[in-house]
Amino acid sequence: MNSLLGRHFLSLQDFTASEIDALLDFAQELKGKLKKGIPHPVLAGKTLGMIFQKPSTRTRVSFEVGIWQLGGYGLFLSSQDLQMGRGEPIKDTAAVLSRYLDGIMIRTFDHGEVEELAAHATIPVINGLTDLLHPCQALADLLTIKEKIGHLDGVNAAYLGDGNNVAHSLLLGCSRMGVNLSVGAPEGYQPLEEIVKKARENASISGSKVTVTQDPREAVHEADVIYTDVWASMGQEEEKIARKKIFSPYQINSELVKLARPGALVMHCLPAYRGEEITEEVLKSEQSVVLDQAENRLHAQKSLMAMLMA
Ligand code: CP
Ligand code: NVA
């Protein structure tokens, strides 16, 4: 029996380690089928509505292509075109969309809106990024680490930069799956204490370790994986210049990479701002797996949709 059927995917925290393992295993199976040209229409006749209140390249394309490859159909729903944009309550939108669709993916600002949508929908709701979390990204990242290193347990990952949505989901996902995570972030921009607390609770069960430091060199010490994200997220555009100064010591450049373990994977959820959080040289280096990460969004989310909606 598939324990994920009909569930929402708002945070990795809502899923056990064995459920996440099952998602990763099925993602690998679907990826193998796709590469061999074996059809896998497990969502034939199903529909996914995709609500976007923020821009997207990877999330939109990977979900739309993913549902199509599974035999279903994806509808791109810009919030500007929905009545929601004119003030129709989220709860009404959730109830109405539940009468047409088999699943909803939403990208928005306030995490509470996604929770409200899920509370009033009778179909699975998938979080495609909020200001708080980006669980689809972390799922694809775990898949990438597992594929590249061969396992998750005991891997040392370091995240440098802003303690944002991507950092939060990595904290929850890594700690649950036994990946040690060391976050290097400046004062005032560290991940939320409530997320770090949950991650530490997860880590005490999985046997992993969660560290938060202001020292970027300490964060990458002994790292098998070095990860970064933009310094100013969507919605923080006017802080961009101020943040550039604050975050400059956290840039992933060749000097910092040298402080990690030899051959450490370099990861970035993309889009990247070259010369800011990462240098062109490192982004293009052999150690960089950013395109595999981007590709794995497709496979991880296909697994997710199939397990929630089939
Ligand atoms: N990484 C990611 O979510 O990219 P998009 O904003 O392009 O969807
Ligand atoms: N932290 C970034 C991630 C983009 C995929 C943002 O929220 O803009």
Ligand 1 center to residue 269 CA distance, Å?
7
Q: Is there a catalytic annotation at residue 136?
A: no
Contact 110, 142 (CB under 8 A): no
Lining residues, ligand 1, CB within 6 Å: 56-59, 129, 137, 269-270
Give the active site residue among 13, 53, 137, 293. Answer: 137
Q: Is there a catalytic annotation at residue 69?
A: no
- Rounded CA gap, 239 and 174, in Å? 29
Instruction: Classify 200 as helix, strand or coil.
Output: helix
Token pair in block for residue 156 = 């040392």
The CATH architecture assigned to 137-293 reads 3-Layer(aba) Sandwich (3.40)
Cα-based distances in Å from 296 to 45, 106, 276, 304: 24, 19, 25, 12
Token pair in block for residue 263 = 């051959």
Q: Is there a catalytic annotation at residue 134?
A: yes
Q: pLDDT tens, position by position, for the chain (310 residues)?
A: 689 999 999 999 999 999 999 999 999 999 999 999 999 999 999 999 999 999 999 999 999 999 999 999 999 999 888 999 899 999 999 999 999 999 999 999 999 999 999 999 999 999 999 999 999 999 999 999 999 999 999 999 999 999 999 999 999 999 999 999 999 999 999 999 999 999 999 999 999 999 999 999 999 999 999 999 999 999 999 999 999 999 999 999 999 999 999 999 999 999 999 999 999 999 999 999 999 999 999 999 999 999 999 9
- Rounded CA gap, 109 and 188, in Å? 20
- Rounded CA gap, 19 and 34, in Å? 22
Mean pLDDT of the chain: 98
The 10s digit of each residue's pLDDT in 91-129 is 999 999 999 999 999 999 999 999 999 999 999 999 999
Phi, psi of 35 (to 5 degrees): -65, -30
* Rounded-to-10 torsion of CA 294, 299, 305, 310: 170
- Rounded CA gap, 268 and 296, in Å? 13
Domain parsing of the chain, residue ranges: 12-134+297-309, 137-293
Q: Is there a catalytic annotation at residue 297?
A: yes
Look at ligand 2, atom 2, and give the residue with the nearest C-alpha: 233
Half-sphere exposure of 240 (CA within 13 A, CB side): 8
* 12-134+297-309 CATH pick, 3.40.50.300, 3.40.50.1370, 3.30.1330.40, 2.40.50.500: 3.40.50.1370
Look at ligand 2, atom 1, and give the residue with the nearest C-alpha: 233
Q: Do the domains 137-293 and 12-134+297-309 match in fold? A: yes
Ligand 2 center to residue 40 CA distance, Å?
31
Token pair in block for residue 280 = 């062109």
* pTM as predicted: 0.98
Ligand 1 center to residue 296 CA distance, Å?
12
